[in-house]
Structure 1
Amino acid sequence: MALSKAEIAARFGTALFDYAEDMSALDTVHADMQELAEAISNYPQILRIFSDPIFNSAEKAKSLSVIEQGLSEEVQNFLNLLLDYDHFMELPDIINCFNDLYNKNQKIETGVAVSAVALDQRQLQELGTSYARKFNLRKVILTNEVDQSIIGGVILKVGDCVIDGSVKNKLNKIRAQLINKN
């Protein structure tokens, strides 16, 4: 039975994480994976080249050697493994799996700050730092979503945790208290 794309990503992502950890190269491999993710995002045709049956193994290996320049030995070995097993199309999902494992290991969380007006980078960083301190994390990386219906305040969504500090939520609580008193 063939493995699903998610199973392949989980297996290879976990294998890469374990390999990088064993080689004491987690940070280096993470940086290289971020660089690869950005390159794939900017040039998605990279993946098609390595999965296209028109190109033979030698041509694919030659193309890969160009991409591998400047990457760590661990990442070069891993990319060659993906090429050998014909799983290059799963590389974005593998990178996501690796990043999830890396972030968990490094106590880094990602999340969303929902606000009525756009927050600048400094405000997002301050919110992230405050949340990280409160929940004993090393770092929290936040993105911003604007939802004018919350009126004001911020709703933080990090992992499974939601902290609703919106004006809308506070007004709803006051309303509920008034209704219960009558």
Structure 2
Amino acid sequence: MLDKITFAKRYSKALYEVLEEQNQVEAGLSELLSIKQVFDDNSSLSRVLTDVSFPEDKKESLIKPLIDNSDVEFVKNLLKVLLGANKMDEFTLIVEEFERSYNEKNKIVHADALSVVPLSDEQKQKLTDVFKARVGANEVILDNKVDQSLIGGVILKSSNVIFDGSVKTKINNIKKLLLS
């Protein structure tokens, strides 16, 4: 029996490869994210769709609108396969893996900018441009989060990179130097 992550990686990879061959990766990603939003907005949906005591015809009636509204045949097939295998609870993981692969291939990086106050659009753009050049990305999707404990400055966090320009860290580093 495959663990959930391995299962999600295998299915997302297969779906990505098929959609890539058909030049439908962007359309597929868009539909997958839309359907994932339905699951995110209805937290019990995946649980209901995998509940063995819930009638199969009711499961099909719940998932049918998602299948019918999909324009990408392979996304429809994925939903049907997951429903038939009683694996609908794996759908969001598959989409997350698919998006991760898409972002990796297209050099898209998600980053959080922690600051004491919300950043202006101009500040976000400057940070985005600098971070993009620094990590070699084609696109940076920046999310600004407020953290008043920083005193000042900005911390940029991405999946594998952290740039800490916060006043709090600078003060702590000076403290360490003075105490050693």
Same fold, judged at TM 0.5 (above): yes
| Alignment of structure 1 residues 105-116 onto 2, 5 Å | 105-116=105-116
Superposition CA RMSD, Å: 2.3
Q: Could you report, residue by residue, the CA deviation over 1:86-129 in whole angstroms, capped at 9, with x for unpaired residues? A: 21111111111111111101111112111122335664344223
Q: Which residue of 1 aligns with 2:3?
A: 4
Q: Which residue of 2 aligns with 1:29?
A: 28
CA–CA separation in structure 1 for the residues paired with 2:60 and 2:21: 26
**Normalization by structure 1: what TM-score?**
0.84
Q: Which residue of 2 aligns with 1:99?
A: 99
Contact conserved, 2:155 with 2:166, CA < 8 A, in 1? yes
Same amino acid, percent of matched pairs: 30
Distance 1:166 1:39, change over 3 A: same
Contact conserved, 2:109 with 2:140, CA < 8 A, in 1? yes
Q: Does 1:16 align with 2:15?
A: yes
Give the gaps of 5 or more residues in structure 1: none
CA–CA separation in structure 2 for the residues paired with 1:76 and 1:174: 58
Aligned-partner residue type, residue 170 of structure 1: K
CA–CA separation in structure 2 for the residues paired with 1:47 and 1:155: 36
TM-superposed deviation, 1:174:
4.5
TM-superposed deviation, 1:62:
4.3
Contact conserved, 1:49 with 1:55, CA < 8 A, in 2? no
TM-superposed deviation, 1:36:
1.1
Distance 1:122 1:82, change over 3 A: farther
Give the gaps of 5 or more residues in structure 2: none
TM-superposed deviation, 1:61:
3.7
TM-superposed deviation, 1:148:
2.1
Q: Which residue of 2 aligns with 1:152?
A: 152
TM-superposed deviation, 1:70:
2.7
